[in-house]
């Protein structure tokens, strides 16, 4: 199969066959991480710009590691230290980056559709969406898919429960798309105030009681409670949220005994997840972090390096 994607803006147009091929490629890249010398010349001579308008640790660092392991030249462009802070438009910044020879731009932005806008303005460079507002976070979905696939094998017929602040979560939206295409049943749970109105349109079910939701689940995915939004009064308190919806030993008794516990990070201990669960045997949170580097290596190789 020839790879047809130049950019990654979302996962809407990815087929199940492409996701399966991608998972195999990510597996190969993960093998490279186990080698004494973690570097290959696949992107030698390519310039990649990391352009982040919002704070990021895991996504930004894993993209940078992936780029360097593939031997690309890396430029980290901070919006706060660039001409954007002086009033330059995103369009003019995009043209500046391409004129400097950028082969690809990785961008995180608070506005929905920002990555798509950038891709339409750039003539040649690939664009990778590292998160745009509450719309999507496709590389997070790919690493989540890779992490679960490694543990469970075929995901056909598996059940995934996503608990937490779905309303503001770009991760949840991308995960629903990716996992659904691989045959996974998605159930959302959490306070009604933290749920979007278009749950059915997203391709998921809603069960307000997390103990009912996690029954027979293969994956329990906890979303970060975005505390910066809680001043809006969407939940009574963080302590009450933890008692009702937090991942505790009591909650996991209702899931399958081998259910995977997942979280996109950063985690809020004793809010959406108890420490004994985050650090327990069922947790694959650190596996997700490791998959993040391999997945982004595979993405860059296929889209920028001309891999097949």
Longest dimension (CA), the chain: 57
pLDDT at 201 over 80: no
**Comparing 127 with 83, which gets the higher pLDDT?**
127
Work out the percent of the chain whose per-residue pLDDT is above 90: 82
- The pLDDT tens digits for 134-166 are 999 999 999 999 999 999 999 999 999 999 999
CATH class of domain segment(s) 140-283:
alpha beta
- The pLDDT tens digits for 169-190 are 999 999 999 999 999 999 999 9
Give the long-range contacts of residues 191-197, CB within 8 A, separation 24 or more. 191/234, 191/235, 191/241, 191/244, 191/245, 193/167, 193/234, 193/235, 194/164, 194/165, 194/166, 194/167, 194/168, 194/234, 194/235, 195/166, 195/167, 196/166, 196/167
Task: Give backbone dihedrals phi and psi of 161, rounded to 5 degrees, phi first.
Answer: -110, 125
pLDDT of residue 153: 94
- The pLDDT tens digits for 233-267 are 788 889 999 999 999 999 999 999 999 999 999 99
Q: How far apart are CA 174 and CA 54, in angstroms?
A: 18
- The pLDDT tens digits for 114-128 are 999 999 999 899 999
Q: How far apart are CA 22 and CA 298, in angstroms?
A: 7
Q: Looking at the whole model, is its pTM more than 0.75?
A: yes
pLDDT of residue 83: 58
Average pLDDT value over all residues in the chain: 93
140-283: same fold as 16-137+289-303? yes
3-state helix vs strand vs coil in the chain, percent to 5: 45, 15, 40
Q: How far apart are CA 129 and CA 170, in angstroms?
A: 11
Is residue 196 classed as helix, strand or coil in its secondary structure? Answer: coil
The domain 16-137+289-303 having CATH identifier 3.40.630.20: the answer here is no
Selection from 218-227, 235-244, 295-304 with the highest mean pLDDT: 295-304
pLDDT of residue 49: 95
Domain ranges of the chain: 16-137+289-303, 140-283
């Amino acid at each position: 199969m020839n790879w047809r994607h130049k950019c990654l803006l979302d996962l809407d147009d990815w087929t199940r066959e492409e996701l399966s091929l991608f998972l195999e490629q990510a597996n190969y890249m993960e093998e490279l991480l186990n080698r004494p010398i973690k570097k290959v010349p696949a992107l030698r001579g390519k310039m990649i710009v990391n352009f982040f308008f919002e704070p990021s640790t895991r996504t930004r660092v894993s993209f940078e590691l992936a780029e360097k392991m593939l031997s690309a030249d890396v430029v980290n462009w901070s919006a706060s230290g660039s001409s954007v802070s002086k009033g330059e438009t995103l369009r003019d910044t995009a043209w500046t980056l391409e004129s400097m020879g950028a082969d690809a731009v990785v961008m995180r932005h608070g506005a929905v559709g920002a990555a798509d806008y950038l891709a339409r303005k750039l003539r040649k460079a690939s664009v990778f969406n590292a998160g745009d507002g509450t719309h999507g976070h496709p590389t997070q979905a790919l690493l989540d898919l890779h992490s679960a696939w490694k543990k469970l094998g075929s995901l056909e017929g598996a059940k995934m429960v996503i608990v937490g602040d779905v309303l503001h979560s770009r991760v949840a939206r991308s995960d629903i798309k990716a996992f659904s295409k691989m045959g996974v049943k998605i159930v959302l749970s959490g306070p009604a105030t933290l749920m979007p109105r278009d749950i059915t349109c997203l391709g998921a079910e809603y069960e307000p009681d997390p103990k009912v939701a996690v029954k027979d689940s293969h994956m329990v995915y906890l979303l970060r409670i975005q505390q910066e939004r809680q001043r809006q009064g969407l939940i009574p308190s963080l302590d009450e949220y933890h008692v009702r919806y937090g991942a505790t030993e009591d909650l996991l008794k209702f899931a399958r005994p081998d259910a995977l516990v997942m979280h996109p990070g950063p985690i809020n201990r004793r809010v959406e997840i108890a420490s004994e669960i985050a650090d327990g045997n069922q947790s694959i949170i650190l596996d997700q972090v490791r998959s993040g580097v391999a997945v982004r290596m595979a993405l860059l190789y296929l889209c920028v390096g001309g891999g097949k």
